[in-house]
Structure 1
Amino acid sequence: MSLKKDAKLILDAIGGTDNIQAATHCVTRLRLSLYDEGKVDQKKLEEIDSVKGSFSTNGQFQIVIGQGTVDKMFKELNDLGVGEASKDEVKAASAQKMNPLQQAIKTLADIFIPILPAIVTAGLLLGINNILTGSGIFYDEQSVIDVHPQWADLANIINVIANTAFTFLPGLIGWSAVKKFGGNPLLGIVMGLILVNPELLNAWSYGKAVEEGTVPTWNLFGLEVEKIGYQGQVLPVLFASYILAKIEIFLRNKVPESIQLLIVGPVSLLVTGFLTFIAIGPLMFGLGNLITDGLVALFDNFAALGGLVYGALYPVMVITGMHHTFLAVDIQLVGNTGSTFLWPILALSNISQGSAALGMMIAARDEKLRGLAGSSGLSAWLGITEPALFGVNLRYKFPFIAALVSSAIAGLVITVQSVRASSIGVGGVPGIFSILPEDWFWFFVGMMIVIVLPFVVTFLIAKGRKV
Structure 2
Amino acid sequence: MAENREIAKEVIEAIGGKENIASFAHCATRLRIMVHDKEKINQKKVEEIDKVKGAFFNSGQYQIIFGTGTVNRIFDEVEKLGITGSSKEDVKNEAKKEGNVFQRSIRTFGDVFVPIIPVLVATGLFMGLRGLLTQPQILALLGMTAKDISPNFLLFTQVLTDTAFAFLPALVAWSAFRVFGGSPVLGIVLGLMLVNPALPNAYSVADGSAHPLTMLGFIPVVGYQGSVLPAFFVGLIGAKLERALRKRVPEALDLILTPFLTLLIMITLGLFAIGPVFHSFEEWVLHGTTFVLDLPFGIAGIVIGFLHQIIVVTGVHHIFNFLEIQLLEKTGVNAFNAIITCAMAAQGAACLAVGLKTKNAKLKALALPSSLSAFLGITEPAIFGVNLRYMKPFVMGLIGGAVGGFIASIFHLAATGMAITVIPGTLLYMNHQLPLYILANLAAMAVAFVLTWMFGYNDKMLEEVKTAGSSN
Q: Deviations over 1:354-390 (max 9, x none)?
A: 2222222322323332232222222221212212221
Structure 1's 441 and 74: CA in aligned 2 closer, same or farther, altered over 3 A? closer
Deviation at 1:281, TM superposition (A): 0.7
Match of 2:174 in 1: 175
Work out the CA distance in 2 between the residues paired with 1:414 and 1:68.
34
Could you tell which deviates more after superposition, 322-331 or 345-354? Answer: 345-354
Structure 1's 336 and 303: CA in aligned 2 closer, same or farther, altered over 3 A? farther
Could you tell which deviates more after superposition, 260-269 or 158-167? Answer: 158-167
Deviation at 1:138, TM superposition (A): 4.2
State the SS of the aligned residue for 2:55.
strand
State the SS of the aligned residue for 1:323.
coil
Structure 1's 152 and 55: CA in aligned 2 closer, same or farther, altered over 3 A? farther
Match of 1:86 in 2: 87
The two structures have a TM-score, normalised by structure 1, of 0.91
Is 1:166 the counterpart of 2:165 in the alignment?
yes
State the SS of the aligned residue for 1:24.
strand
The two structures have a TM-score, normalised by structure 2, of 0.90
Q: Deviations over 1:320-351 (max 9, x none)?
A: 11210010011112222222222211222222
Match of 1:404 in 2: 398
Deviation at 1:64, TM superposition (A): 1.9
Across the aligned residues of Structure 1 and Structure 2, the Cα RMSD in angstroms comes to 2.4
- Retained in 2: the 8 A contact 1:363–1:462? no
Equivalent pairs counted in the alignment come to: 460
- Retained in 2: the 8 A contact 1:55–1:390? yes
Deviation at 1:205, TM superposition (A): 2.1
Deviation at 1:303, TM superposition (A): 5.3
Deviation at 1:73, TM superposition (A): 2.5
Structure 1's 456 and 23: CA in aligned 2 closer, same or farther, altered over 3 A? same
Structure 1's 384 and 151: CA in aligned 2 closer, same or farther, altered over 3 A? farther
Work out the CA distance in 2 between the residues paired with 1:401 and 1:359.
13
Match of 1:341 in 2: 335
Following superposition of structure 1 onto structure 2, how do residues 206-355 of structure 1 map, counting pairs within 5 Å? 206-209=205-208, 215-219=211-215, 222-302=216-296, 304-355=298-349
Q: Deviations over 1:28-85 (max 9, x none)?
A: 3211012233332221112212323212211111112344443343343334443311
- Retained in 2: the 8 A contact 1:126–1:163? no
Structure 1's 347 and 152: CA in aligned 2 closer, same or farther, altered over 3 A? farther
- Retained in 1: the 8 A contact 2:422–2:441? no
State the SS of the aligned residue for 1:362.
helix
- Retained in 1: the 8 A contact 2:289–2:323? no
Work out the CA distance in 2 between the residues paired with 1:5 and 1:421.
45
Structure 1's 77 and 144: CA in aligned 2 closer, same or farther, altered over 3 A? farther
Match of 1:4 in 2: 5
Q: Deviations over 1:58-115 (max 9, x none)?
A: 1111112344443343343334443311111111111212211110010011011111
Query: Which amino acid is the alignment partner of residue 241 of structure 2?
Result: I
- Retained in 2: the 8 A contact 1:348–1:410? yes
For structure 2, which runs of at least 5 residues remain unmatched after alignment? 463-472
Is 1:442 the counterpart of 2:436 in the alignment?
yes
Deviation at 1:269, TM superposition (A): 1.0
Structure 1's 134 and 205: CA in aligned 2 closer, same or farther, altered over 3 A? farther
- Retained in 2: the 8 A contact 1:215–1:226? no
Structure 1's 424 and 83: CA in aligned 2 closer, same or farther, altered over 3 A? same
Structure 1's 143 and 233: CA in aligned 2 closer, same or farther, altered over 3 A? farther
Structure 1's 403 and 174: CA in aligned 2 closer, same or farther, altered over 3 A? same
Q: Deviations over 1:281-335 (max 9, x none)?
A: 1111111111111222233244522221111110011111121001001111222
Q: Deviations over 1:244-290 (max 9, x none)?
A: 11111111111122222211112111111111111111111111111
Query: Which amino acid is the alignment partner of residue 394 of structure 2?
Result: F
Structure 1's 330 and 303: CA in aligned 2 closer, same or farther, altered over 3 A? farther
Deviation at 1:228, TM superposition (A): 1.0
For structure 1, which runs of at least 5 residues remain unmatched after alignment? none
